[in-house]
Amino acid sequence: MNIAFHKHTLANGLDVLLHEDRSCPIVAVNLWYHVGSKNEVPGRTGFAHLFEHLMFEGSQHHDTGYFPPIQGAGGTLNGSTNADRTNYWEVVPSNALELALWMESDRMGFLLPALTEAKFSNQRDVVLNERRQNYENRPYGLAPMAMLAALFPGDHPYHWTTIGEIADLHAARIEDVRAFFSTYYHPANASLAIAGDIDPEQTLALVRAYFEELPPGPHVARLSVPTPALTREQRLVLEDRVELPRLHLAWLSPAMFAPFDAELDLAADILANGKTSRLYRRLVYDQRLATDVSAAQNSRELTGFLQVAATAAPGHTLAELERIIVEEIARLAAEGPTEDEIERCRVQAEAQFIFRLQNVGGFGGKSDQLNAYNTFTGDPAYFMEDLARYQRVTAGSLQEAVQRYLTTPHRVVLSVVPRGRVVLGMPDSSPAQVS
């Protein structure tokens, strides 16, 4: 299942990954910048996500929107930002490859001459509105902010969400974001993957023509921060415009690709993902204490956190949910998973890896996968080693991971309750802080 590729590094530091797939006359252009919200600092948050917007607004040689030319050629395009990276992609007919490369190179090398105060102010307002839509006005939407703020200290790169804090976005000046762009959005901090109906030699020549003359930009050092530690249980309550209370439990966990990361990924599946999971059967199906339950190992580049969330059914309390969740985690730690559970999780993991091979582009396609491995491991061929991590999981290693990370009392317990009904939260909870 490996993705065949050729890797080249241009003189300016840009990594170029080429994957030939002639099954359909389309080409995916996928560009990752190794910058996310973790590269921001307190008081200057939201910049990485803001640039995700600004980079669709025009550059020096195409000073207008980026969507019409690609869509007019029959293609699609998008981008996204998370804590660790920013990506942009286009999927175009084969004959529009040069157009996509030209546009990506122009905004990499010539965005700042076209960045005006009017564009900056307009997109900052767009981001603030997105924050209102996706966080402030969405039921339970502020929970991620409260959870991150509790899990990580104020100076840790994961303390804030990608969208940024309101005060920081209002205080940002165009000089600040220009400096942020110059630091991170350049060839030496980027990885370009091209997959699909291509001739590798001709495509590399095009990449050199459009990208190689761009200056490399400053060296970006990898962040090195102390691994955070929870020293006690934190109980928090957040009032929101919701009908039913929801409980979130979270523990700090390993970073992406680190030992026990794969084990905790599968443990989350065993606990709460799918109708055959332990918590779904007990909380939702058998005892009907909850309307839903989920779990996820949120592995990031520097560290991770595992979270379980459940919404109380009418007439039931968060304390009831917490008791069952703790019981099932304790049972998994004491007895380990069954062989059937391990096998089911392995099969699901392998199926997810295969699904990624269906598309050459977009979010999660082959070009995206090559860039992810190249950015975070330095090895675009990490696909099979990544899958092997899950195949190597045993009942014993999963049990050890649960014992080590999920049975500690040092955790965050967040209750999200209807406004004016703090009494529905877990006992001894303090007000959660969101900004």
pLDDT for 168-222, tens place per residue? Answer: 999 999 999 999 999 999 999 999 999 999 999 999 999 999 999 999 999 999 8
Q: What is the DSSP letter of 309?
A: E
Domain shared by 355 and 247, yes or no? yes
Domain shared by 150 and 296, yes or no? no
Phi, psi of 387 (to 5 degrees): -65, -40
Let me know if residue 224 belongs to a domain: no
Q: Which amino acid is at 315?
A: G
Average pLDDT over residues 412-428: 97
Q: Which of 178, 211, 244 is the last residue of a domain?
A: 211
- The residue among 250, 249, 272 whose CA lies nearest residue 328 is 272
Token reading at 370? 């090559």
- List C-alpha distances in Å: 172 to 33, 180, 365, 375: 21, 11, 35, 28
Residue range 343-366, pLDDT digits in tens: 999 999 999 999 989 999 999 999
Domain shared by 56 and 149, yes or no? yes
Let me know if residue 223 belongs to a domain: no
Average pLDDT over residues 9-22: 97
Domain shared by 196 and 253, yes or no? no
Token reading at 223? 């962040």
- List C-alpha distances in Å: 225 to 40, 221, 235, 256, 372: 13, 12, 26, 15, 22
CA 116 – CA 107 distance, rounded (Å): 14
CA 240 – CA 139 distance, rounded (Å): 7
pLDDT of amino acid 2: 79
350: domain CATH number is 3.30.830.10
Q: Which of 155, 177, 211 is the last residue of a domain?
A: 211
| Strand order across the beta sheet in which 76-81 lies | 6-9, 15-20, 190-196, 26-33, 86-93, 76-81
Let me know if residue 425 belongs to a domain: yes
Domain shared by 245 and 190, yes or no? no
Residue 206's domain comprises 6-211
Residues contacting residue 52 through CB under 8 Å, at least 6 positions apart: 79, 80, 81, 86
Q: pTM to 2 decimals?
A: 0.95
CA 155 – CA 384 distance, rounded (Å): 36
Average pLDDT over residues 392-417: 97
Domain shared by 204 and 292, yes or no? no
Domain shared by 20 and 94, yes or no? yes
Domain shared by 267 and 410, yes or no? yes
Contact assessment for residue 321 and residue 247, using Cβ atoms and an 8 Å cutoff: yes
Domain shared by 159 and 273, yes or no? no
Let me know if residue 354 belongs to a domain: yes
Q: In the predicted model, what is the mean pLDDT of the chain?
A: 96
Domain shared by 175 and 40, yes or no? yes
Phi, psi of 408 (to 5 degrees): -70, 145
Number of domains into which the chain is organized: 2
Residue range 85-126, pLDDT digits in tens: 999 999 999 999 999 999 999 999 999 999 999 999 999 999
Domain shared by 253 and 377, yes or no? yes
